[in-house]
Chains A and B, each alone.
Chain A
Amino acid sequence: MTTATYADTSVTVDDEGFFTDPGQWTEPMAEQIAREQDIATLTDRHWTVIHFMRAEYAAKGTGPTVRILGKTSGVSVKELYQLFPKGPAKTAAKIAGIPKPRGCI
């Protein structure tokens, strides 16, 4: 476990850079994390996904997979890849300040 600084605040992250405590996240941090992921600006569509990720995490204790995002967030899988080219579930989880989504077995 290490720390990272976003919006002048120190937060704890895991080895891959995912927040370990989603409570430490604030909206201003998202833009900076997004730029680290090569996303220049966050559009309304990005924010739809980010808010959805956080709500899902709060309800279920894990972020959704891409397939579930595509079925339930109102953003299709195709568009999710346009918004978050490096892998929507992981990138959006990182920007949304939640732990890495647990995949299936």
Chain B
Amino acid sequence: MDKSIVILGSGTAGTLTANRLRRTYDERECRITVVDQNDDHVYQPGLLFVPFGLAEPHALVRPRPRQLLDGIAYRSAEIDRVDLTADRVHFTDGTSLGYDVLVVATGASLLPEETEGLTGPGWGEKVHTFYDLPGAVALHQALERFEGGRVVIDVVDLPIKCPVAPLEFAFLADWYFQRRGIRDRVELTYVTPLDGAFTKPVAAKALGGLLKEKGIELVTEFALGEVDGTGGRLVSYDEREVPFDLAVVVPLHGGAEYVDRSPGLGDELGFVPVDRHTLQHPDHPHVFAIGDAAGLPASKAGSVAHFEGEVLAHNIGRFLAGKPLDASFDGHTNCFIETGFHKALLIDFNYDTEPLPGHFPGALGLPLLKESRANHLGKLAFEWLYWHSLLPGRELPGIGSAMPEHGKTHTPA
């Protein structure tokens, strides 16, 4: 078999998928081409630390092609659209590429301009986001200048990448201002469209409790309609107001823009609908999606892309061999949640099981839903694992795609 697999996007998901496939199938079995519009791979979990001066921006960036194993073709080009009837990808430079199997791994994009006033007066001065590298750097400078007042963290709507990151930002802000000795001059408010601190009830309770403990006000069911940067106000659609001196906003997310220009590929938000277990497109069996690009009821997180990768590489092999797909993704998600003071919480869940207390991955492992130093060290170790194990498509020792059950306490929500 000499088949061509084209992978769109060389972020976390595209890179690890290419490397997993290359490890499993040699070059005579399939050609693998990975496409990306720029050559800088940013370690996105590190963006959380940049505003607080806890990570150096340049240390988070590495060249994309260097993360790919030998025998994978890398193409630097911007995707214009996918023609699903002709099985071709068209690029903005006028060239195109055919495929036997297409993997969409172009992630989620930030859409700040979709919220009225968000990118208006005050954007980059009093109104910030840490969800991309330039934003995180600008916020670092703004925080350094900040001497007191109202800091508001707002999530506009879900889905977002790493739904716990805004909470982590709030916890770290509390710690940051304490270290600077001005915490008593800062009012911290966490504003969310959800009816609690998090989507999942057990975790929402634990995380809501932590916000309270740290003196961070929680405003729920707030659907952001407008940002008044000059007046320093967030205004909801139902006309409630939250005043601020500094706003940290996580903007709306959508899929990559070309998805909308590709008839039949995506949903209303530009994400690619796929079977929640096999990751295969419902109408186009030779199209798959992975990572943030996929329209699945799972978190948009690097850990999820990692667990999906194992299933996807196997299923693509089955597909190319003409056999029925048999690997099944269970929605497994695993997130460390930094809480400041050298501590972190860990949550682990899937489509059907709530984040539960206990230990991960077994009875002697890291504590779940509880702050600990060990979890903080786990979060820091993740960066090394990301570059050296996750991206190269290796198995993480003891952590497979299926969610572990050992060591969990099944207390009702």
What residues make up the interface of A, taking CB atoms closer than 8 Å to B? 65-68, 71-72, 77-78, 80-81, 85-87, 102-105
Contacts and interface: CB of A to CB of B under 8 A. Distances in A.
B225 A81 contact: yes
B199 A81 contact: no
A105 B268 contact: no
Contact of B297 (A78, A81, A102): A102
27 contacts: A66-B157, A66-B223, A67-B157, A67-B252, A67-B269, A68-B268, A68-B269, A71-B268, A72-B268, A78-B225, A78-B237, A80-B237, A81-B237, A81-B238, A85-B238, A86-B238, A87-B223, A102-B297, A103-B194, A103-B199, A104-B157, A104-B159, A104-B199, A105-B159, A105-B163, A105-B199, A105-B298
A31 B289 CA distance: 43
A103 B158 contact: yes
A81 B268 CA distance: 20
Contacts of A67: 157, 252, 269
Interface residues of B, number: 17
Given A68-B268, A81-B225, A105 B238 contact: no
Given A67-B269, A68-B268, A87 B199 contact: no
Nearest to A80: B237
Contacts of A72: 268
Contact of A104 (B221, B238, B297): B297
Interface string B139-165: 000000000000000000111000100
Contacts of B297: 102, 104-105
Interface in B294-323: 297-299
Contacts of B299: 105
Contacts of A105: 158-159, 163, 199, 297-299
B223 A81 contact: yes
Contacts of A68: 268-269
Nearest to B236: A81
Closest 10 CB pairs of A and B: A81-B237, A104-B158, A104-B159, A68-B268, A71-B268, A105-B299, A105-B199, A67-B157, A72-B268, A81-B238
Contacts of A102: 297
Contacts of A77: 223, 225, 237
